[in-house]
Amino acid sequence: MAKQPLTADGVEDKIAEIYAMTTVDRMAEASAIESGFKTWVSDNFNLSTDQGNYLTGMSSTIATNYGRSCAIAFRNMLGVSLYWPAPPTPPPTKWLKMTNNILISTNTYGAEEYTGSLTFEFEYR
């Protein structure tokens, strides 16, 4: 897979690429992002020095949470998007927040159903 820029369009293109894969390959991508969010992002996106530093500095707890949520999205072909507004001048601290709108349901027979989406958004405060 070709690396994409870490932009809203790049994330959209990467997700489309993953969802066009065979089920086996898509499940492999889900496992990869679940077990190593930072590595997966680095392997799949062209990162600027600042983006690479930001990713490296991300806490392992947050990265694990993001990876698990993305894996659910990949396995169930749910929406994943990135919103990245232009930073104000001078730029304050940058925060990455994830809005998880994934609804997980089950019935008395153990069937699972996943609906919804994930949105990653950079916020400046």
Rg (CA), the chain: 15
pLDDT for residue 125: 84
Residue 56 pLDDT level (bands cut at 50, 70, 90): very high
For the full predicted model, state whether its pTM sits above 0.85.
Answer: yes
Q: According to the model, what pLDDT value does residue 84 have? A: 86
Residue indicated by tokens 């996106």: 45
Mean pLDDT confidence for 95-115? 92
Give the residue numbers spanning the domain of 90: 4-124
Please enumerate in sequence order all residues whose Cβ is within 8 A of that of 118, keeping only pairs 6 or more positions apart, or say none. Answer: 69, 70, 73, 78, 79, 80, 81, 98, 99, 100, 101, 102
> How many structural domains compose the chain?
1
